[in-house]
Amino acid sequence: MARPPSKEPTAGELAILRVLWDAGPLELGTIRAGLGPGRGVAPSTVATMLKVMLDKGLVVREDGPKGYVWKANISLDAARSGLLDRIKEVLFEGSAHRLVAHVVERGELSDEDRAAIRKLLDAKRRKSGGPKT
């Protein structure tokens, strides 16, 4: 049985979304240029990806003076949340604790990262009325 298509953006789709998030509504050629000169992506490839993204609801398009103008239909925060939820479900059995423990145990958190995380947790605790640690 075929798996249902994912609504989450692929790595290539995220690259296109980043261009749209940074620069706003754009035509195909400008999106392609925004992907960077070293990418060497054909216009037809970008057009095909935009069509798939349109079908997934990731972008919307309007008629422009020289063709379609494309706009992100999902925010960066929504994309992050969706992808993180998927990673949590698929790789960490739905456990936020396991996901965070994995990041902590890898030992890649800097002192600044740990301080920022503590600050976020303390602010969340104060907001919810919980005890300080």
pLDDT band, residue 94 (cuts 50/70/90): very high
Say what the pLDDT of residue 133 is: 53
pLDDT mean across residues, the chain: 91
Say what the pLDDT of residue 130 is: 65
Is the separation of the CB atoms in 17 and 9 below 8 Å?
Answer: yes
20-77 residue pLDDT tens? 999 999 999 999 999 987 777 889 999 999 999 999 999 999 999 999 999 999 999 9
Q: For the chain, percent helix, then strand, then coil, each to nearest 5?
A: 60, 10, 30
- C-alpha to C-alpha distance for 100 and 91, rounded to whole angstroms: 12
